[in-house]
Amino acid sequence: MRSQTFVIAIAGTSGAGKSTLMAELVARLGNANALSLDDYESSSIYPPVREWLEGGADPNQFQTPRFVADALALTEGKSIFHPLTGQQIQPTSYLLLEEHFGRARAGMRDLIDFLVYLDIPLEVAHARKLLRKNDFLPWEDNPPVFIQNLRDHLNWYTAFGRSFYIAVKTMAVKDCDLLVDGMLSTEQIADQVIEALNKR
């Protein structure tokens, strides 16, 4: 049974600023939690992009059972344990979710009360993604690994990645409640989200 938890999903291509926006909204809304898909990678199953596109691009092939279960538990007034930190998370008035497909996946459709899509040019989002220093793209910390992984990623992006992001965007935008300009500052985007929520 659903509690009084209001679920806000944030969608947008990789590099659009979803995580940053969720953190800003958690701070502004106060009694709020946020769950990021990246934290559930070890318990999720993602199909190879090429096969997924050629097979009809069914969003339900992206299976995130623990992510869905944890989100549902919080909306039912139950506590969960963070998949990475093990920290107990209690239910709150608001729950923010990173959900690339918006309402397109069956497991998420009935959970989402309000869907925000961050609309940003693909080349800008992609540039942001490549500029992030991490284990995959360590930049000057490990130039040989950076060069090889960057080359592999760009080959993937030109072959399938761009088509993948376009397909996912088409699904997420279709049923979104608020389409915002992802080129605005995080503060400006949060202002628009809060304003839209207050009008509901």
Per-residue HEC secondary structure of the chain comes to: CCCCCEEEEEECCCCCCHHHHHHHHHHHHCCEEEECHHHHHHHCECCCHHHHHHCCCCHHHCECHHHHHHHHHHHCCCCEECCCCCCEECCCCEEEEECCCCCCCHHHHCCCCEEEEEECCHHHHHHHHHHCCCCCCCHHHCHHHHHHHHHHHHHHHHHHHHHHHHHHHHHHHHCCCEEEECCCCHHHHHHHHHHHHHCC
- The angle that helices 122-131 and 162-174 make with each other, rounded to 10 degrees, is 120
What pLDDT, on the 0 to 100 scale, is given for residue 200? 82
What pLDDT, on the 0 to 100 scale, is given for residue 193? 97
What pLDDT, on the 0 to 100 scale, is given for residue 2? 59
pLDDT of 70-79, one tens digit each? 999 999 999 9
pTM: predicted TM-score of the whole model, two decimal places:
0.93
Question: Domain-by-domain residue ranges, the chain?
Answer: 6-198
What pLDDT, on the 0 to 100 scale, is given for residue 77? 94
In CATH terms, is domain 6-198 a member of 3.40.50.300? yes
Ranges of the chain with pLDDT below 70: 1-3
The values of phi and psi at residue 6, to 5°, are -100, 120
Cα–Cα–Cα angle for 124, 190, 115, nearest 5°? 80
Rounded-to-integer distance, Cα 150 and Cα 1, Å: 46
